[in-house]
Amino acid sequence: MNESEIPIFLQSDLNFSKKSLEKVEIYRELLLEANKHYNLIGKSTESTIWQRHILDSAQLVSLIDFSGNKSLSDLGSGSGFPGIILAIYNQNPKFHVKLYEKSIVKCNFLRKVVKNLSINVNILEGDYKYHKINSEYITARAFKKMDKILHISREIAKKPHKFIILKGKNAQEDLEKSSKDKNFKYRLVNSITDENSKIVIIDA
């Protein structure tokens, strides 16, 4: 799938509305402009931003139930992937997205995005350790090593929750090395953006 086909795919296969797609495009423009001054995403990924970042994040919408009074916590949100994309997709005013980010520069960028897009997002600045994690859904992308993520799921985050992690080709190996609990429940889903990457889903 080339870059120009991805917006069509988001609408036809992932059910992004026309208005949501317009917001994704505004977000893309804001990100590329800000990336001229700050290291928000790798410069080498700018030309493949739809595939590498937007679609990679958007594929998670099929794993989340956006109905009802729920929330999603995106840990280490960085420049907003996947949290901003999921917030753009969300049409339910009772579903809240929370972005956890310790970088002041990235938090300022996220605030600008939220203001420009008028999306239902709370930004929690500082280390996640200083904030409660009490959402039904937790997401992470390029965040921590698997043992740290499992610690958050087991010891810090409120239960029950579904923890969704975008990982690379070593996801299975990392899970086996990190998990000492034989009753630990997880499943792997293939990523649609990279045949070697996986989405790890932890039900806790």
Question: Looking at residue 172, which CATH number applies to its domain?
Answer: 3.40.50.150
What average pLDDT score do residues 23-27 get? 98
Instruction: Give how many domains the chain has, as a whole number.
Output: 1
Question: What global pTM score does this model have?
Answer: 0.94
E runs forming strands in 67-173: 71-75, 96-101, 121-125, 137-141, 162-167
Mean pLDDT of the chain: 92
pLDDT tens by residue, 67-91? 999 999 999 999 999 999 999 999 9
Q: Say which residue, 84 or 172, is predicted with more confidence.
A: 84
On whether the CB atoms of residues 161 and 138 are closer than 8 A, the answer is yes
Cα 202 from Cα 60, distance rounded (Å): 14
* Structural domain harbouring 43: 3-203
Cα 21 from Cα 12, distance rounded (Å): 11
